[in-house]
Structure 1
C-alpha cells in the first residue's frame, strides 16, 4: 500500500492549492481584475476535477486499510469472508483510479478549454472538392449541434456546382478546441462525383484547420496596426444581398494577415467577429511553435495541427472511414457524415493520452 500512500502525498500539494484558489476567487479584489479572475477560475475547475478524484481515491485507500485490519482481527468466518470480498473489490478499483490520477496530473494543453475557429477549404478535385467541403461543413455542424455548441459562420465562398470553396466558422461551447483539434489536416474522399458520366471513382480532398480562439487579453492589438475596409456583402453568383457597406475586411499590417466577415447585417457585429478571428490568427502564429515543439517528442501526434498531413479517408463505395494516424477504420460512413464522429475522436484521445503517460514516465 506504500505506493498508494505516496500518490496521496503527491496530491496533498494540489489539495492545498485548491483551497487557496477557492478562497482567492471569492476575494473582491480578484473579482474586479477580470484577467486574473478568468485565469484563477480556469485553474479552479482543473483542480476541482483532481480534488474530486483524490477524495474518492483516499476513501478507497482508507477502506482497504480498514478491510485489511478486519481480516487480521476478525474471528467470525462469515465476517472474514465479507471483509475479503470487499477487499478484492476495492483493490481491483485502485489501478484504474491510479491511471486516471496520473493522467490528470500531466499538464493538459492550456488551449483545450477554449472556443475554436474552424475553417474548411477545398483542395484538389475541382468542383467535387467544393461539394466535399460542403459535406464536411454539414458533418461538423451536425456534430456541434449534438454537443450543444453554438456555430456561427463568419465567411464563406460557394463552389460553382455546390458546396464551398472555403467556409470559416466560430464554434462556442465547453472544451471545444480540446475535442475539435483532432480534425486538423487533409481529409480525402473517394467516390463517383456528381459530375462524372463514366461512373469512375475519383479522389478529392479538403483541408480542415482548427484554431483555439484567442481571448481579448491573450493578444494585444494596436489600432494603428489594423486597416479596416468595408464593402457590400454578396451572395451566390455575386448578387448583392446587402446594399449597405456592412461586410468587413481587416488587414493586420505588420503580419499581412487578412480576415473578412460578412454574415451579419450589422457592420459592428461583423467587426466584432472579424476582430476575434484576427486575434485568433495572430495568437496561432505563436501557438504553432508550441505544437511543433511537442510534435518532435511524440510518435503519432494525433493533434499536431499539421494541416498538410493526410489524416482521414472517406470511401463511399465501401461505406468506409479510415483514420490514418491510428489505423482506425469504421464501416458506418452515412452516420459519420451525419455528424457521428465522437467515436473516432475518443480513439484519438486515448492514443494521445497513452503517449502523454509514456512521456511523463520517461
Structure 2
C-alpha cells in the first residue's frame, strides 16, 4: 500500500489504475533471460473522518414497560426506551436500567455505534467495488504500462507515449500525464 497526499496528488496519479507489466533481467541471471512481473494498481481517495451528529428530527422515541423480573415497579413504569432512526429504519430497544433517562442515553449510544458500523461497512463495500473495477483481472490484456529495464524504456499503452526509465523513476512523467 502506498499513500500520497498534497494538492496535486490526485492529478498526478489519475492515469495509474490498471495493470502494469515490469520486464527485467535479474542480477543473478546468467543467460540474460527476461523476467516479467505484473502489478495491479488501484488509486482511491481517502475518506475524511466525520463525526456522527444525530438530528432530533431524525429520531423517534417511544417508551414502554420493560419485560422480565422486577415486580410491581417493572409492571407500572415505562422505563424501557425504543429509539428509531427514521432515515435508515434502524431500531434500538434499551431496558437494561430502571431509569428511563439512563435507558435513553444507552439507546442513543447503541444507535450511534450501529450507524457508524453500517456506514463503515458501506464505505468498505464501495471502496472494494471501485478497487475491483480499476484493477481488472490482472491479465496481460488489461495492462496500462510496460516497464522494460533492459531497454531503459517505459511505454504507456493507452496513449502510446514512450519515456526513458530514468525519467520515469525520477518522477518526470510529463508525456504520460497528458
Is 1:338 matched with 2:170? Answer: yes
Cα 1:316–1:282 shift into 2, 3 Å: same
Residue 92 of structure 2: aligned partner: none
Q: Aligned equivalents of 2:170 and 2:5: distance in 1?
A: 20
Residue 207 of structure 1: aligned partner: 40
Tell me which structure has the larger Cα radius of gyration: 2
Cα 1:209–1:320 shift into 2, 3 Å: same
Question: Displacement, 1:214?
Answer: 1.3
- Of structures 1 and 2, the one with the larger relative CO (CA 8 A, separation 6+) is 2
Question: Displacement, 1:195?
Answer: 3.7
Residue 127 of structure 2: aligned partner: 284
Kept in 1, the 8 Å contact 2:161–2:175? The answer is no
User: Cα deviation per residue 1:139-182 (whole Å; 9 max; x = unaligned)?
Assistant: xxxxxxxxxxxxxxxxxxxxxxxxxxxxx132221142233121
Kept in 2, the 8 Å contact 1:187–1:310? The answer is yes
Q: Aligned equivalents of 1:214 and 1:283: distance in 2?
A: 12
Q: Aligned equivalents of 2:49 and 2:125: distance in 1?
A: 12
Is 1:185 matched with 2:12? Answer: no
Unaligned runs of 5+ in 2: 54-111
What SS is found at the alignment partner of 2:147?
strand
What SS is found at the alignment partner of 2:14?
helix
Select the structure that is richer in helix: 1
1:147-296 aligned within 5 A: 168-217=1-50, 223-224=113-114, 281-285=124-128, 288=130
Question: Displacement, 1:306?
Answer: 4.3
Residue 311 of structure 1: aligned partner: 144
Residue 44 of structure 1: aligned partner: none
Question: Displacement, 1:223?
Answer: 4.1
Select the structure that is richer in strand: 2
